[in-house]
Amino acid sequence: MNDPITHSLSHLDLNTKDETFLDSNELIINMGPQHPATHGVLRVILKLDGEKVLGTECVIGYLHRGVEKIAEHRTYTMFNPYVDRMDYVAAVSNGLGYCQAVETLMNVEAPPRAKYIRVILTELNRLASHQLWLGTHALDIGAITPLFYTFRDREEILKIFEKYCGARLTTHAFRIGGCLYETYDGFEREVKKFLTFVAPKIDEYEELLTTNRIWVERTRGVGYISAEDCIALGVTGPVLRASGVRWDLRKAQPYAAYSDFDFDIPIGENGDTYDRYLVRMAEMRQSLRIIQQAVDGIPEGPIMAKIPKVIKPPVGEIYHSIEAPKGELGYFIVSDGSTQPYRLRVRPPSFINLQALDQMVKGQMIADVVAVIGTLDIVLGEVDR
């Protein structure tokens, strides 16, 4: 009880002893930071009544690296690779958001070809991120097989990344002003091959889960959150869309080349874990559609805008956000006209979505806590930064 964090939960009232024969005080257990289902180093303090969750408290910061502070001591170019380390399963999206934010600040625009390459890689990354989410989420709920299927297919995406920029996970694929690398020979062909390869695989994942009785029972009605609560808490991404809000920054504030493509925003109705699952599965298919259109219509031309060697954005501030796989990923940059940002603030989707955890699991069972942590699709690198 000397743990300051546990102690701060005064509402839990641990000190009054129950006078009855059986000491029926609630059980407080500590889930994490070393726990197989917390997706990294999340620590959740659970207050339990038997199997029922009465309340939770998230303790974060075990992976804090001070990314925002680092930004103040690096030039704009030097900071670019650091953003890959936040949401390390969707590094390309992070890079895209940062590069676009600085570009908007500098008032330059990437050439069309660069934008298309960015869209292709970002959507591939969304697919990879969702595949990783699906595998680990299913694993948390006890289905161990989908994990290996999704990792097998995610590998193909990572191979494309590796061929494109040499890295598989922390890609650092984009530069401020466009892309550094031209696509390699046969890039389009390989991406198209991948599309035909992965479409039936997504059906395969669905075969294992979508109509599986146990899966449906474990996810339907679990971790409900209403659209109003989502908006009040600032929850974005598939979690928001599964609650029935048709909000996707790719459509609402089109960036890169997204306005050129025809795609749908899948939304759910019930705001439960099952709907979030369906929304993400549908998003995978929409990503395939976008990639297909982008590969077909990729224009020729330069891939880098004319930007100075030393990046010195004008004095000012900018908030630019993109639709990352996990939700709205925003960068707020204050420039004092020097080569380094005066202040850089990241709006990480995982961190803000995690705030909904308590509300979503209250009154549910322990097993639902891991299901909800899985369905929120958090990455601790991004939560803690």
Partner 1 sequence: MLEYIKSYLGSNLTPGSAGNMLWAFVYIALIFLGLSVAVIAMNWLERKILAHMQVRLGPMRVGPHGLLQPVADALKLLLKEDIMPAEADKLVFWLAPLIVVLAAFAVFTVVPFGPTHAVTDMNIGILFMLGVSSLGVLGIVMAGWASNSHYPLIGALRSSAQMVSYEVAMGLAVVSAVLMTSMNAQGTGTLSMIGIVQAQQQQGVWFIFKFFPLGFMAMGIFAIAMVAETNRAPFDLPEAESELTAGFHTEYSGFRWSLFFLAEYSAMIAVSSIAVTLWLGGWLRPFPNLLGGPLWDLVFSLAPGLSFLALGAMAAFNTFRMPRHSFFRVQTVGLALFAVLLAMIGVLMLAPGVRERVQDIFWFCFKVAVFMYLYIWYRGTFPRYRFDQLMRVGWKVLLPAGLGVLILTAIVGVLV
Query: Closest distance between partner 1 and the C-beta of residue 152, in Å?
Result: 5
The token duo for 285 is: 């298919």
Q: Site for partner 1 (CB under 8 A): which residue of 14, 195, 265, 365?
A: 365
Among 133-141, 159-167, 188-196, 338-346, the segment contacting partner 1 (CB under 8 A)? 133-141
207 sits near partner 1 (criterion: CB under 8 A): no
Is 277 among the residues that bind partner 1 (CB under 8 A)?
A: no
> Does residue number 141 form part of the binding site for partner 1 (CB under 8 A)?
yes
Distances (CA, A) of 115 to 126, 297, 308, 328: 16, 12, 19, 19
When asked if residue 189 is in the footprint of partner 1 (CB under 8 A), the reply is no
Q: Name the token pair of 62.
A: 């075990």
Q: How many CB atoms lie within 10 A of CB 189?
A: 10
Q: Sort 213 into a burial class: Cβ within 10 Å, 0-12 / 13-18 / 19+.
A: exposed
Build a one-symbol-per-residue string for 42-81: x at contacts with partner 1 by CB under 8 A, - elsewhere: ------x-xx------------------------------
Number of residues counted as binding partner 1 (CB under 8 A):
34
- Of the candidate spans 79-87, 143-151, 225-233, 236-244, the one that interacts with partner 1 by CB under 8 A turns out to be 143-151
Tokens at residue 85, please? 């380390």
Q: Which is nearer to partner 1, 201 or 251 (CB)?
A: 201
CA angle centred on 98, ends 95 and 99, rounded to 5°: 80
Strand partners, 57: 45
Residue 36 within binding range of partner 1, rule CB under 8 A:
yes
Is position 319 an interface residue for partner 1 (rule: CB under 8 A)?
no
Q: Which of 3, 217, 228, 336 binds partner 1 (CB under 8 A)?
A: 217
Backbone angles phi, psi at 16, to 5 degrees: -75, 125
Kindly state whether residue 363 participates in binding partner 1, applying the rule CB under 8 A.
no
Q: Residue 372: enclosing H or E segment and its boundaries?
A: helix 366-376
Nearer to partner 1, 275 or 368 (CB): 368
Q: Which residue(s) pair with 322 in the sheet?
A: 329
Rounded to whole angstroms, how far apart are CA atoms 27 and 18? 13
Question: Contact between 208 and partner 1 (CB under 8 A)?
Answer: yes
Does 245 interact with partner 1 (rule: CB under 8 A)? no
Task: Give the three-state DSSP class for 18.
Answer: coil
Rounded Cα distance, 221 and 218, in Å:
8
- Positions in the binding site for partner 1 (CB under 8 A): 27, 29-30, 35-37, 48, 50-51, 138-145, 147-149, 152, 208-209, 212, 214-215, 217-218, 365-370
